[in-house]
A and B are shown apart, each in its own frame.
Chain A
Amino acid sequence: MNEPSGLSRRRLLAGAGALFAGAGLAGCENTTTPVRTAEGGGGDGIMGDPTAGGPVDAAGIPLARRDYPVTLPRIADPVKAGRPERGGELQIYNYADYLNPEVLKAFGEQEGVSVRVTTFNTLDEAYTKLSTGRFQFDVIFTAPDHLPRLVGRRLIQPLNFDLIPNLRTEVWPELHSPFYDVGPRYSVPYTLYTTGIGWRNDKLGDFDPGELGWEAFWRAGDYRGRVGVLDDSREGLGMALMRRGVTDLNTEDEAKLTQAADDLIELNEIARVKVAITGYETLPAGRMWLSQVWSGDMLNAVISYLPEGTSGDVLSYWYQRAGGPVFNDCICMGANAAKPVLAHRFMNYLLDPKVAYDNFVGYVGYQPPITAIDAEALFAEEILPENLRNCIVTPEDYANGNAYLALTADGRRAWDQAWARFRNG
């Protein structure tokens, strides 16, 4: 594999500087200024974090793992409790279609504000826009593996959990102090998901990935052109890794990643895969028959995307019970939030069982980690189709699952370059 350009530049600097003397190559560049922490800057330079010692990300923050919980450095004091701000707009930054508009409307009416959602397509895009400092959001939706860099760039601020009592009373105990944000300090969990295989059981007959697992994709030559892989470097390569029995989905082993990219290229030869994240629409529409999907997208497909005359019974979902990807998204507060107290109230509101239920079943399709929501009952009452029972995440799944977590800078580059090789076809 070719050497990454950033590195080759350093190599150029070291060895062949004279060759480009005229170009005036500037000195080492790292615009990521590690922040000083409220706890003081001692320790080994890893933001004063007592858990120093493990691998760190580019901002110098330790990489959280399930067996290596990380307390994120406190970069400021949480806001004091106070009267919620009224009037004006509550600014929310989120994916599109990831909040029930009815739920937002009700919150706005309850609090006397208008709620405005600005959307992003990817978390990378969100991070890039946030780091320009030109946006002011009260509530920011993100994923746990993005927390370190949001903290590292001071784009979010610590929360006052006295203002979010529902976290302790309504949320799964497993997520009261999650390994990625011990305390917690910056985040409340939003929804849960697994990554699995979605398929059209009316098209694929007795297809069952239960035996083959992810290998099923590499045997899908009969459905070529109707096979989908998620347009996400971690998920796509991760699927190829799991097919080979790799259990560490955060490996930075170049040989494994090269093999994974080779496997995906082979898969493309076999099945002419479509690389997209639109399975929630293409599967119910019948355009795709077999696709790597997120569990919530399958329920979302039933809730919002079934074409007329198609029943939700045609969709099936499989999830690798042991070691498959399972994780949650989370909610934070913007560093320069104009309505900090209201932002807290909004998070608390989303963790209210009734609100969370309406948001889940009424629109989003992604399950919240709320104890009072009995997923089994949803099938018993035929609110969700029985054949999609696998889409429900249980506390056991969460405990036994795997997750794509933050990597070191070099590790992420290795993943992305392996992915780019596949995407070039």
Chain B
Amino acid sequence: MRRWGWLATPGLAWLAAFFLVAFYAIVAVGFGNVTDVYEPVPHWNPLDWNVGYMLQALDDLLPGGRSWGVFLRTLLYVGLALALSLAIGYPVAYYVSRHARGRTKVVLLVLLVAPFWISYLMRMFAWTNLLDSQGYAAQALNALSIDSLFRAVGLLDGDDWLGGQPIAVILGLVYGYVPYLILPLYAALDRIDQRLIEAARDLGASPAGAFRRVVLPLSKAGTLGGIVLIALPMFGDYYTPDLMSGSPRTAMIGNTINNAVQGGPDKALGAALTLLLSLFLLVFMLYYLRVLRREEGT
């Protein structure tokens, strides 16, 4: 083990340079100050830390605070997007791993990887044209009366998919991140020993029972892993709401941070919000790690 430890050096150096240092810079800005001309002044020494912005950010995020509404909206959008992603991703991953055979499986796997070839931003930009009133996607949706259906149940207001519709943002998030969920799910499902399912069936479990008692528990770590993998970037996402809507009505916490950091007067506040968001996400992460450890233990 020790002999090969040096192999980790490049990775550790990379992490140190591009994660730890960068993250500490955000910490230093968040616990720093802002000059009268709105330049952030990082406080690198923890003894000099200024807690004013952190307290303000905390105050903003608590009920009744300036960013409380945005935070709730973000939770709602991400929650719905995760649920939809799972509803779409799990059956796909399940089919590819357990039922697709031979050539079909290879083709399907290639198709699952295909979205990674195009950058997230480009794929989102494509939608701004596709969902435009004259866009192919909008015309197809209208031809299938899906817009009327959505309008009837209150998911769409007016006829413009890109005109500040929450549903467009949520579907945009699903579209953007679902490939990142399917791949780890596929890997987890593919690893499940077929014989365990057969044993369950032999012992009298119905197909649904075998799925519920064997497949589902065994894919829990992979499912959670996939959820963590897409939930983290979703929480920080700001360009999906920007491109799919651009209206403050659908702003997410990432937009708030982006506005604070890009041109606003309180860059330190943006950094402090980032740190609080990270802290919040860390809780998710810890839960995932705990599940993972328990699974490894058994």
Chain A interface (Cβ < 8 Å from any Cβ of B): 2, 4-6, 8-9, 12, 20, 23-26, 29-32, 57-59, 122, 124-125, 127-128, 131, 149, 152-153, 224-226, 233, 265, 268, 272-276, 285-287, 409, 412-413, 416-417, 419-425
Contact = CB atoms under 8 A, between A and B. Distances in A.
- In order of increasing CB-CB distance, the 6 nearest A-B pairs are A225-B163, A9-B52, A58-B36, A272-B164, A425-B248, A274-B246
A5 B256 contact: no
B260 A420 contact: yes
B36 A425 contact: no
Nearest to A19: B51
B251 A425 contact: yes
B266 to A, nearest CB: 6
A20 B43 CA distance: 16
Interface string B244-257: 01111111000110
7 contacts: A2-B66, A29-B35, A29-B41, A32-B37, A149-B37, A224-B163, A413-B266
A9 B247 contact: no
A224 B37 contact: no
A6 B73 contact: no
Interface string B146-179: 0000000000011010111100000000000000
B66 A421 contact: yes
B37 A58 contact: yes
B248 A417 contact: no
Interface stretch (B53-61, B106-114, B119-127): B53-61
Interface in B175-219: none
B8 interface: no
A57 B37 CA distance: 9
Interface of B: 33-39, 41, 43, 47-53, 55-56, 59-60, 66-67, 69-70, 73, 132-134, 157-158, 160, 162-165, 245-251, 255-256, 259-260, 262-266, 268-269
Nearest to A153: B37
A172 to B, nearest CB: 31
Contacts, number: 151
B41 to A, nearest CB: 6
Chain B interface, >50% SS class = loop
Given A9-B33, A29-B41, A225-B165, A423 B158 contact: no
A124 B256 contact: no
Contacts of B249: 268, 272, 425
A265 B69 CA distance: 13
Contacts of A8: 52, 55-56
Contacts of A226: 160, 163
Contacts of A274: 163-164, 245-247
B43 A26 contact: yes
Contact of A6 (B52, B133, B263): B52
Given A2-B56, A6-B52, A23-B51, A273 B34 contact: no
